[in-house]
Amino acid sequence: MTNQEEQMNEPEQKAGAEGSEGQLIEAAPEGEPASRAALRKAIIGGAVVALLIAAGWISGYLALRNDVSALRQGLAGMEQKLEQGLDRQRQAAAVLEDRQARLDSRIGELTGELEALRNKVAELGRQQTRDPEDWVLAEANYLVTLAGQRLLVAGDVAAAERALEAADRRLAELARPDLTPVRQALQQDLEALRAVPRVDLTGMALSLGEAIASVEKLPLKGVVRQPRSARVEGEAEAGTRQEDRDWKALLRGAWEELKGLVVIRREQVTDAALLAPERVDFLYQNLRLELEAARLAVLRRDTANLRRSLATAEGILERFFDPDSPAVQALRQRLAAMRGQELAPPLPDLSRSRSALREYLLRQQRQGA
């Protein structure tokens, strides 16, 4: 109950109390004094008023306690909602901070790339302002450097010669008298390169490969070589016939073996004729291996091993193979020609042209500064 309702009901309560007192006074005995009746009336009225006031206070207290409890519950709900909202705000702030850190890092990277791009643009601008003759000199310097690298690293004399010739042509286009010493140095290095004996390593390797493939076709001295497959079939057929022989054939075979104990040799018999068929196969295989070793030496520019392998192969051809065969003669001629080749001739020094051109460029830079 609220205070306004208590104030509105208070006159009604007083009126009711006065009516009750009047009834009590009227009901008082006639012989009782008037003062005692009035006192009783006042006491009863005060008690009623006190009870009414106490009831009002109690009802107000209960209503206030309910309001406070509801207010506390509302405050707790609001506090929980606020805490949840704060958590979401914290999470969003953490995400934003992470994104900001990534953006700062990316901005730093882009700043570095932009600075590098600016430097490149500035360098290109400086290069565009250079004299076109400077480009020709830079190209000639590159060609001279390339010639030295090809000669020292790969031993490619032809490539080095082409590079120096190109550099000389580029310098000739400038038509500068002060480039005469540089061109003289280039001509000296070119003459030194042209004096180096040229060796066709690829051609030698291919020729040896062809010789290796044709080894099986070379004839031996005084021997008609039967193919290995035919020899194996002949031995198998001989074994079968041996099982089918009768006693007469066995006697005939024994007689032939006795006659074979006496051997008549001619003076011109060759070493190859004395070899068993299996040994003949090894002979061809040895010749093939020596030619393979020679080809490997060519690819490695190993002159010593090349000559050693070719000498061994020529010895095998001379001792065991038919000297009247055109194939044997052609192979021996090719091997003899290869044995006289120098696979790694001494290479000239190209420092004259490189030093002359470098000094000229340094003088140009000093004059430009």
How do residues 197-235 score in pLDDT, each as one tens digit?
A: 887 888 889 999 999 999 988 898 765 554 444 444 544
Asked whether residue 173 falls in the same domain as residue 289, the answer is no
Q: What is d(CA 156, CA 44) in angstroms, rounded to the nearest whole number?
A: 139
pLDDT at 268 (0 to 100): 42
Asked if pLDDT for residue 250 goes beyond 60, the answer is no
Residue 244: inside a domain, yes or no? no
Q: 38 and 146 in one domain?
A: no
What would the mean pLDDT of 100-116 be, rounded to a whole number? 88
Half-sphere exposure of 351 toward its Cβ, with a 13 Å CA cutoff?
1
Note the Cα 346 to chain centre separation in Å: 39
pLDDT value, residue 186? 92
Q: Going by C-beta distance under 8 Å and a sequence separation of 6 or more, which residues neighbour residue 156?
A: 150
Residue 307 and residue 220 share a domain? yes
For residue 21, CA distances in Å to 163, 274, 363 come to 142, 169, 138
Task: Tell me, yes or no, whether 170 and 87 share the same domain.
Answer: no
3-state secondary structure of 274: helix
Say yes or no: 146 and 32 in one domain: no
Give the pLDDT band (50/70/90) at residue 50.
confident
pLDDT of residue 222: 65
CA-CA distances (angstroms) from residue 132 to 44, 128, 174? 130, 9, 10
Do residues 343 and 298 make contact, with C-beta atoms less than 8 angstroms apart?
Answer: yes
Residues 354 and 286 in one domain: no
Query: Does residue 357 belong to any structural domain of this protein?
Result: yes
Is residue 292 pLDDT above 90, yes or no? yes
Asked if pLDDT for residue 187 goes beyond 70, the answer is yes
Specify whether 287 is located in the same domain as 220.
yes
Long-range contacts of 50-59 (CB under 8 A, 24+ apart): 52/10, 52/13, 56/1, 56/6, 59/1
Spell out the alpha helix ranges (H) of the chain: 3-27, 34-128, 132-149, 157-174, 180-194, 201-213, 228-244, 247-259, 277-299, 303-320, 326-339, 351-368
Per-residue confidence (pLDDT) for residue 128, from 0 to 100: 55
Residue 119 lies in a domain: no
- Average pLDDT of the residues of the chain: 77
Indicate if the pLDDT at residue 165 is higher than 80.
yes
**What pLDDT is attached to residue 26?**
45
Residue 339 pLDDT > 50, yes or no?
A: yes
User: Taking 70 as the threshold, does the pLDDT of residue 180 lie above it?
Assistant: yes
Do 290 and 316 meet the contact criterion of CB atoms below 8 Å apart? yes
Q: Which residue type sits at 23?
A: Q
pTM for this one? 0.44
pLDDT value at position 282? Answer: 85
Spatial CA neighbour of 216 closest among 283, 150, 263, 156: 283
Q: Is residue 265 domain-resident?
A: no
368: confidence class by pLDDT, cuts 50, 70, 90: low
Whole-angstrom distance, CA of residue 50 vs CA of residue 317 = 150
Residues 223 and 315 in one domain: yes
Please give the pLDDT value at position 33: 64
Instruction: Answer whether residue 34 is part of any domain.
Output: yes
When pLDDT is cut at 50, 70 and 90, the band that residue 127 belongs to is low
Instruction: For residue 161, tell me if it sits in a domain.
Output: yes
Q: Are residues 173 and 91 in the same domain?
A: no
Range of the domain at 190: 132-196+349-368
pLDDT at 256: 57
190 and 210 fall within a common domain: no
Number of domains in the chain: 3
Residues 6+ apart with CB under 8 A from 271: 221, 319, 320
Mean pLDDT of 350-357: 88
Statement: residue 239 has pLDDT above 60: no
44 and 167, same domain (yes or no)? no
- Is 17 within a domain? yes
Model confidence pLDDT, tens digit, residues 54-99: 888 888 888 888 888 888 888 888 888 888 888 888 888 888 888 8
For the record, the structure tokens of 252 come out as 């005939």
Same-domain status, 284 and 356: no
C-alpha 170: how far from chain center: 40
Residue 163 inside a domain? The answer is: yes
pLDDT at 310: 92
